[in-house]
């Protein structure tokens, strides 16, 4: 079942309101004939800015967001791109997108499936003989995190800063990362349950290389970056620097009160096809809107990518094939991915028709309340400003997250979904 876009939700609300107005006029209710159907309110950029501000108050040196819709682009920036520098955040600057990379990897593999190079329910070992310990694990299972492969990053980053420094400049063969995972037992029976693991998308990367005969960088460039003209997006692994203007990353230590660690330069080799790409908010919005708009996948592959299962018991958070779905409080669903890599949090989401997109980032990590605050940009952007008739609601939506109803708010924020499982939530 297709979920409503914001415009569709507004249209439904308007139809109900118009019906009430007609009925009220018929029975003589005062003022019944004067109500008009509400229009799409557009993004609440004041609410977006409030969420970014909260992220900086909770520990991020800077945060920024860009919204793209039918009326063009709108941006908000708060704080600094480099702590203590006085340099403002810049939505034209590159940053590390972490697990948003998974959506790029999933698109390439689904393209290959659509071309007949593999089947979605083929066992992985049919294409990569002997790689995995269980022949029941399929391409579908690694794409939707139902393989049971243990997430090696749990142990790798059990101590955040020492773990990061140990791998900052390392370059791993993809097979070695899979080996770290398969050294441990499966966490669930293949296909039986959702269990997020970076190892799944390392396997996806190996499948892409095997099926294309190309490097990951070549496959991303030929199949996504080039066709969508993503001029500021790249897979730079194994280089440890970003080539252009960029946002510095700041890793939060486990010990409270310790200074942030500059994590800008890193190979991100521990993540690769699970999390090593760089981009900008504008490019990410172009990617998510192009994906949901049907520019990258045939309808059959896009439909299967959007087939989701719940990731928790809130009823609002789901996962498809390399793609998250969040059901917002205004009954609008958005699709995309969250990203966590040392020094950066990212959200990149779009409506199901691809007409409205938001990308937001904060330049810290290992501080879960910052991630939660950044997630509030989704509600503000996609649910929009409240109508003038309800100013108290608009005022509430512009307040910091801590001032809201925490129990209700928690249903719509990905608090329970760190992309790096060892992340500290700091609640």
Token pair belonging to 348: 């990149």
Closest alpha carbon to 116 in 364, 300, 263, 264: 300
Catalytic residue among 3, 19, 75, 99: 99
Burial zone of 315 (CB within 10 Å; 0-12 exposed, 13-18 middle, 19+ buried): exposed
Sheet with 357-362: list strands edge to edge. Answer: 72-79, 62-69, 357-362, 344-351, 333-341, 324-327, 317-319, 309-310
CA separation, residue 285 to residues 74, 292, 359, 367 (Å): 12, 11, 6, 25
Mind listing the pLDDT tens digit of every residue in the chain (427 residues)? 445 555 555 444 444 434 434 343 444 444 444 455 456 679 999 999 999 999 999 999 999 999 999 999 999 999 999 999 999 999 999 999 999 999 999 999 999 999 999 999 999 999 999 999 999 999 999 999 999 999 999 999 999 999 999 999 999 999 999 999 999 999 999 999 999 999 999 999 999 999 999 999 999 999 999 999 999 999 999 999 999 999 999 999 999 999 999 999 999 999 999 999 999 999 999 999 999 999 999 999 999 999 999 999 999 999 999 999 999 999 999 999 999 999 999 999 999 999 999 999 999 999 999 999 999 999 999 999 753 333 333 333 333 333 333 343 444 444 435 576 566 544 3
Neighbour tally for 76: CB within 10 Å: 25
Give the Cα separation of 229 and 232 in Å (integer). 9
In sequence order, the β-bridge partners of residue 347 are: 338, 360
Annotation marks residue 99 as catalytic: yes
- CB-based contact 415:368 (threshold 8 Å): yes
Q: What are phi and psi of 129, to 5 degrees?
A: -55, 130
Token pair belonging to 314: 């809130």
């Amino acid at each position: 079942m297709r979920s409503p876009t914001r415009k569709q939700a507004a249209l439904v609300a308007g139809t109900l309101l118009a019906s009430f107005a007609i009925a009220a006029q018929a029975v003589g209710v005062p003022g019944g004939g004067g109500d008009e159907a509400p229009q799409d309110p557009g993004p609440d950029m004041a609410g977006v800015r409030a969420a970014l501000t909260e992220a900086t108050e909770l520990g991020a040196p800077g945060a920024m967001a860009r919204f793209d819709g039918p009326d063009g682009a709108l941006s908000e920036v708060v704080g600094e791109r480099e702590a203590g520098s006085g340099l403002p955040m810049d939505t034209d600057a590159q940053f590390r997108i972490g697990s948003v990379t998974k959506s790029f990897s999933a698109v390439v593999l689904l393209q290959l499936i659509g071309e007949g190079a593999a089947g979605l329910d083929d066992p992985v070992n049919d294409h990569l003989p002997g790689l995995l310990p269980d022949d029941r694990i399929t391409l579908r299972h690694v794409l939707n995190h139902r393989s049971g492969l243990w997430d090696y990053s749990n142990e790798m980053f059990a101590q955040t800063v020492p773990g990061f420094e140990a791998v900052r400049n390392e370059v791993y063969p993809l097979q070695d990362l899979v080996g770290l995972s398969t050294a441990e037992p499966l966490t669930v029976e293949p296909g039986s349950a959702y269990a997020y693991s970076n190892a799944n998308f390392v396997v996806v990367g190996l499948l892409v290389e095997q099926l294309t005969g190309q490097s990951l960088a070549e496959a991303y460039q030929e199949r996504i970056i080039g066709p969508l003209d993503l001029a500021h997006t790249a897979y730079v692994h194994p280089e440890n620097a970003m080539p252009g203007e960029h946002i510095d990353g700041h890793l939060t230590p486990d010990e409270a009160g310790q200074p942030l660690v500059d994590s800008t330069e890193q190979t991100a080799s521990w993540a690769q096809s699970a999390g090593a790409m760089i981009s900008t908010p504008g490019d990410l919005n172009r990617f998510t809107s192009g994906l949901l708009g049907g520019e990258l996948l045939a309808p059959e592959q896009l439909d299967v990518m959007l087939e989701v299962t719940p990731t928790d018991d809130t009823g609002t958070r789901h996962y498809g094939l390399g793609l998250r779905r969040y059901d917002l409080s205004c009954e609008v669903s958005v699709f995309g991915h969250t990203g966590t890599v040392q020094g950066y949090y990212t959200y990149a989401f779009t409506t199901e028709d691809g007409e409205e997109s938001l990308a937001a980032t904060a330049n810290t990590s290992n501080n879960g309340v910052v991630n939660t605050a950044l997630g509030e940009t989704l509600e503000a952007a996609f649910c929009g400003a409240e109508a003038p008739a309800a100013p108290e609601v608009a005022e509430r939506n512009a307040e910091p997250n801590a001032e809201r109803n925490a129990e209700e708010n928690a249903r719509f924020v990905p608090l329970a979904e760190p992309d790096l499982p060892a992340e500290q939530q700091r609640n």
